[in-house]
Amino acid sequence: MGKGQARKTSSVKAKKSPRVVGRWLWRLFVWFVLAVLAYQAYLFGSVVWYRWFNPQETAFMADEQARLSKLEPPKSIEHVWVPFNQISRYAKRAVIASEDTGFTEHSGIEWEAIEQAARANFASGQIRLGGSTITMQVAKNLFLSSDRSYIRKAQEIVIAFMIEVAWDKQRILEVYLNVAEWGVGVFGIEAAAKHYFGVPASRLNPRQAAWLAAILPAPKRYDRQRQSAWVERKTGIILRRMPQVQIP
């Protein structure tokens, strides 16, 4: 092969290489999109399943059990599922009053709250607030992690939409009350009622229910530090709000 022909062949390869790279990048993009869609389909199938079947374990429970199993001696999480009609009405009112007063009215997302949280996070330079509704917290507890990122928040919103489509409000509240984290290895309102007050969830009185709702933002901290002026103040606020909220 002469030098001129060799240069020509090299030139042709050089021209083709960007096209080859472009095709591979396009294929990778298509596979990525298909993988994302497949994952969303899996999540929606799981959401539909949980409409009728109670989740036995959540992403948060699995993470906490892995942490507790490494302790000496190892510990297990506390969790007992109870149906909606076996949970004190005070507990239902307290959680709504504390976490999401518009729960029965919105469609799973409070865009104004998310916008306010985003502004506060931007001003502080850290992701501290999320503006999550009860529906969004169910999505996070069931499928996601406690890590804070905008990608995770976007996925939380998508799952919340799925839940609102597949479940009614009573089911959403029932699942939330049964999977929420309430202390070190303590999950669900039944385990929380027995852990803190030695009573079943059906017998929680207004103050006990309000106190449990007050510690939800940082349950592990207040499991260890139960005497807190801040929690007492918030308990009083929740008690005053409770008669004003609606239970689905």
> What was the pLDDT predicted at 28?
86
Phi/psi region, residue 198 (left: phi>0; alpha: psi -120 to 50; beta: rest), is: left
CA angle 215, 180, 75 (to 5 degrees): 90
CA distance 46 to 49: 5
CATH fold of 69-244, please? Penicillin binding protein transpeptidase fold (1.10.3810)
pLDDT for res 120: 52
Q: Residue 128's pLDDT is what?
A: 47
Residue 182: its pLDDT value, please? 96
Residue in 139, 172, 141, 142 with CA at minimum distance from that of residue 156 = 139
pLDDT digits (tens, 9 = 90+) for 136-151: 999 999 998 777 777 8
pLDDT at 127: 43
pLDDT at residue number 33? 84
- Residues of the chain with pLDDT below 70 are 1-16, 111-131
Q: SS3 of 126, please?
A: coil
Single-letter residue type at 190: E
Q: What is the pLDDT of residues 221-243, one digit of tens each?
A: 999 988 899 999 999 999 999 99
**Residue 130 structure tokens:** 């999320």
Residue 148 CA to its chain's centroid (Å): 11
52-58: long-range contacts (C-beta < 8 A, 24 or more apart)? 54/81, 54/175, 54/178, 55/142, 55/175, 55/179, 56/81, 58/141, 58/142, 58/143, 58/179, 58/187
